[in-house]
Each structure stands twice: as structure tokens, then as C-alpha cells.
A and B are shown apart, each in its own frame.
Chain A
Amino acid sequence: MARMTYLAAARAALAEEMRRDPLVWAVGEDLGRGGVFGQYAGLVEEFGPERISDAPISEAAILGASVGAALMGTRPVVEMRFSDFALCAVDELVNQAAKARFMFGGQGRVPLVVREPIGMWRSSAAQHSQSLEAWYAHIPGLVVACPATPADNKGLLKSAIRCDDPVVYMEHKNLWPLEGEVPEGEHLVPFGVARRVRAGGDVTIVSWSQQVHVCAEAAEALAGEGIGVDLIDLRTLWPWDRVMVLESAARTGRLLVCHEAVAVAGFGAEIAATVAEHTSAKVRRLGAPRAPVGYAPPVEDAVRVGAAAVAATARSMMGR
């Protein structure tokens, strides 16, 4: 184990995979200077400018070229800076990357990872703050990963790079400096296996990414009130761990799904519906209002799902 940040864990994962497999390369804007958040710092010195490649501000070309390069057998790691910018490359991801394997009858594979940092940090406003994971969970052919911890940001990124299908890899911008224990060397987190953050018997709370930490804060407060929270970090939205979620919800009889993304048509709806179909658990979900993220702190905070709201919802589910 080593103590490192969420950002450093991902950098270690990429470096290890690039040392292991010469077909892995990374491409995106500003990578030669370490990337917009420093996720690539030092890598061009080790791997050179061909494998840590700068790119023009051409999201469609960055992603589309990576589709072509992946079909040819290389394994591109694509940096999009912000999930918001990746919308300039939706055709390349949704119509091309996600479908090539199927529509060509299995003749080709598209082993690319597209890193799309998500989420609110401070005052980045409507075009640099979105959480768009549900869009991609809806698309057949795509894997969607949303790591919440430094250890997972290493283990999931390594799994993503080794995956033979396209992976939408959504790191949360607010988590870059988060420190935690990270296994050294070969540490692979499989897709579709959730993480139980804390065990409890009263309310199941399912979340992912930064919102896991908000829910953990709420769970701590609820524990002091005698309410036991079974907190599940989903880690990947596709595939997602139905077994752990259904077992927990059936046991506690209460499911609260909580995400930073807009509640309407969010992935929480999928989980809530699944649990409602398969258990008799009481189901609630919490997500952001259906409004763009604002700049001024009070406006921005108005669309955050905070720990107090999570705790209040759990209490009401307990009849308190």
C-alpha cells in the first residue's frame, strides 16, 4: 500500500499499463504539459511525445482517430478534459466506438478508454460541471466507470485499459486531491462489482463518484442517531452490481439512490426501478434539480445534493 491522491493513482495506473503494453498510448489536449489537471505530469518524459500525444482542440478528431487507431489494434487512452467537451465527440463515441464491434459482425474491436472528468467543483458554471454518466449507461456497447477513491481510480483505470470494449471513464474533478491507501503494482478492480463502504441494517444507500463521500458523511450522522446505513459505492454503472444492491435492499427494506447528476432520467431511476421490480423495498432517489449549474456559490450550491438532504431523506424513510 502507498498513500497517494486520486490523481496520482490514475497516473500510476496509466504509467504501469504503458510499461506493460507498448500498444497503449494516450492522446489529448495539453498532455505534453501534464494535462489540464496534471494527471499526465511526467509521463511524456518517460514515454515520449508519440505515446503521450498532444492534440489539437478537435474533440471529434481526438475520439474519432482513437476509434480508427483502436480498430487497428492499438489501445488509446483518450483525454477529453471535461465530460462537457466530450459532447463535441458524441457521434464518434456513440455511433462509431460503441457500435463498430456489433455492426461489423465482430470483425473488429474498439479497445479505447475515454476519460471524461465530471462533476461540480467550485464556480465552474454550466459548461464545466456536468455529470453525464447516465447518457452513456444508456448506450449498448459502452462500459461506464465512475471511481470514488484513489484505490479504485488505479484499479478501475487499469481494468479499463485492458478492456477490449470502449470504456467511458469518468473521474470526478473534486476528487483529484483526495488521498487514500492504494495497492502497489498489479491492482485490478473488476467491472460490475460494487464496494460496500459501510455495513448497516436499516437503509441501503447506493451512490457513486464524489457523491459516495457525501453519503458517507450522512451515514456517519445517521449512525449517531441509531440508523444503520448499508452504503454501496457502485463503482461502475455499466455493468452494475445488481446482486449486491438487490440483496441489500431486500434485507434493509429501504433503498435510497443518490447522485450528483440531475435526478430526472438519471441512473438512479434505473436502480430504483430495478429494486422496485425485484423486492418489496421502499424506494427513494435523490439527485440534482433539473437546472444548469450556476457560477455564484449560492446558486451553485442550490443544485448540490448535500449530506443534510441525504440524512433527512433516510430519516423520513425510517418514519422519523
Chain B
Amino acid sequence: MPPDQSSRNFDVSRLREQHRLMWRIRALEQAALRGLAEKVVLGAIHPSIGQEAVAAGVVGNLRRDDILLSTHRGHGHTLAKGADSEAMLRELLGRVGGTCGGKGGSMHIADFQVGMLGANGVVGANIVIAAGAAHAIKLRREDRVVCCIFGDGAINRGPFLEGLNWAAVFGLPVLFVCEDNGFAATTRTASMTAGAGPATRARAFGIVAEEVDGNDILAVDAAVQGLLAQVRGGGGPRFLHASTYRLTGHTGADAAPYRPAEEVAARRLEEPIGRAAELLRGAGVDAAALAADQAAAEAEIAAAYEAAFAAPYPEAAEAFRDVQDVGSPLQGAF
């Protein structure tokens, strides 16, 4: 069970905003699952249901001109960075007007207008790209920062070592966030990971690292505010390990039979939106207002889904656009 929250101090309006954002993320994920069931979301999706406090608590603290690198499980991060929900759903449905024109889909969702430089279909690949984005910021003497979110599985990939070392050696403005949902695809991460975990590995590079309950939006928010202030102050990279739990399977098609139902049921009691609602109720926000947050989010996403569904697919010629400037993609082909 979650800890007693009755004695915590917080900014009610800020938490209310986060509550709304988490509902928007969850509604978007549920719409994506609906699309998958209706066979209009065509490829794999990786839902973040249960992990919304990481997206809201981390990304909600970024400025619009800050840079975000995300993962294959990146819908929530992208929405929190300010991407338009309808453009996101158009992308998931592969339609005109998608953030990537329908050419990337869920795993490559990106919105450069809001500083979201891409989800990534390769685990851990975003870590070195994020270091490089921060490198460019430093070379150009800009004051913005980079945030790189990756999963617990990524800490066993080489780019984790190479990217953290790089960011530390060059003193780059990047916040690394390990969003630990306990599973590397369908394998329990702990069973395949040596040592004391992500934060310990980060500290081995001399990077200040904190660990937080990733389902506690207040804790995530507070930790990120502190770490981001240090990054913005020129302190070099910082690291956050946020522990959460993936309430769905690895993909929308994964029923996750590899874990007991009792485990999932117990973890569902600790999911972040309910915990935020409990805090808000304790602060005097009435149940109708909280229900209205949910209803508004669901209405927004339902409208976005209908608009995305009504939008056309891109024309076939898009297959050959934005490949590269020189050389025809059709040379030598059928």
C-alpha cells in the first residue's frame, strides 16, 4: 500500500495540473490500445499506463526550448513535452498530419517544434544522441538543457556506459532519467542485471544520482526540480532513477502471462493517478472536480482519435521523400 500522505505539503494547483496531464496521457494510451484493437493502429505500441507520473513529473519541468529524447514507450513523454494529441494520434494511425507525417509511427514519434527529438526503436540508442544534443548546446553556449529518458533495460547496453561517460567528461547539460518499470521487454530486469542498479552505475561516473518512487508525482517533481536546477547551473549531467511499474504488457499485444495477477493487482493500488487524486482530495478538491479532469482528458483524446481516424493516409510518393538529397531512391529498383 502507498505510504500515508496526509501530512505532505504541496502546491494544490500544480498537482491539479499534473493530475490533468496524467489523465491526458492515460487517455491517449487507452486510445492507442483501442486503435490497436480496431486494427487502425497498425504496428507495435508500448503503453506507459501506470508510469504517467514519470512523464508528468519529469517532462513537465522542461521548458519548451529544452530538448527531450525518449524511448519506444514514449507517448506520455511526448504529450507532456507539448505535442498536440491529435497530431500524435494521426501519427499512431499513420495519417496525414501526424507529427512525422505518418512515416514514423509510435516508435519514432517526434515533434521538433516542441523540442521532442524523437522516440527510438532501439533500446539505449537515445542516450548517446542526447549527449550529443547537449554537446551542441554547450558548443553554442545556449542555456537550454537536454532530458533523456530510457528504461531499466537500457542500462545493460553499451551506449549507457558510453553516453554517461561522455556527458560527464564534457560536463554537458543533460538530465538522464531511468524510468524503471521492472521489465526489460518480458524479462524481469533484476534477473539479468548485476550490481546495485542504475543510480549506483551513474555514481560510478561521478554523476550525482537520486532515486525516487516514480509513482509519486510529488517526489518525482521535487527531485527533478532540484536536479534540473543543478544541470541548468552548469553542474554537468545529473541522473534520476524513478521506480514505477508497467501495468500493461510490453506491447499492446502482450498479455504479460509471465507475472502473477496478484502482483499486478497489488501494484495497481499504487498507480500514480489514484495517488495524486488522493492527495488532492485530502487538500479539499472535491471528487466531481477530479472526475471532471478525467472526463476532459477523455473528451479531448476521443475527439483527437476521431479526427485522426477521419484523416487520409499519406500518398505513396511519401515513401521516397526525405530519404536524402542526392541519388534517386528508385535507381536500380523495380
Contact = CB atoms under 8 A, between A and B. Distances in A.
A71 B166 contact: no
A65 B100 contact: no
B322 A71 contact: no
B135 interface: yes
Given A102-B103, A238-B327, A239-B327, A61 B131 contact: yes
Contacts of B132: 64-72, 76
B323 interface: yes
A114 to B, nearest CB: 13
Nearest to A59: B162
B311 to A, nearest CB: 14
Q: What is the interface residue range for chain A against chain B?
A: 35 or more
Interface stretch (A138-146, A208-216, A225-233, A257-265): A138-146
B165 A140 contact: no
Interface in B11-68: 67
B159 interface: yes
A59 to B, nearest CB: 8
Contact of A103 (B104, B117, B134, B327): B104
Contacts of B236: none
Given A58-B162, A140-B323, A239-B326, A103 B133 contact: no
B326 A143 contact: yes
A72 B141 CA distance: 13
Contacts, number: 155
B151 interface: no
B100 A103 contact: yes
B108 interface: yes
B108 A103 contact: yes
Of A25, A68, A273, A274, most B-chain CB atoms within 10 Å: A68
B100 A101 contact: no
B158 to A, nearest CB: 6
A250 interface: no
B332 A274 contact: yes
Given A68-B129, A104-B104, A25 B139 contact: yes
B191 interface: no
Interface of B: 67, 69, 98-104, 108, 110-113, 117-118, 120-122, 125, 127-137, 139-140, 158-159, 162-163, 165-166, 169, 321-329, 331-332
17 contacts: A56-B165, A64-B131, A64-B132, A65-B129, A65-B132, A73-B136, A95-B125, A96-B122, A103-B108, A104-B112, A108-B110, A140-B324, A140-B329, A163-B325, A164-B325, A165-B326, A192-B326
Give the top 4 A-B pairs by smallest Cβ distance, nearest first: A68-B132, A64-B128, A65-B132, A239-B327
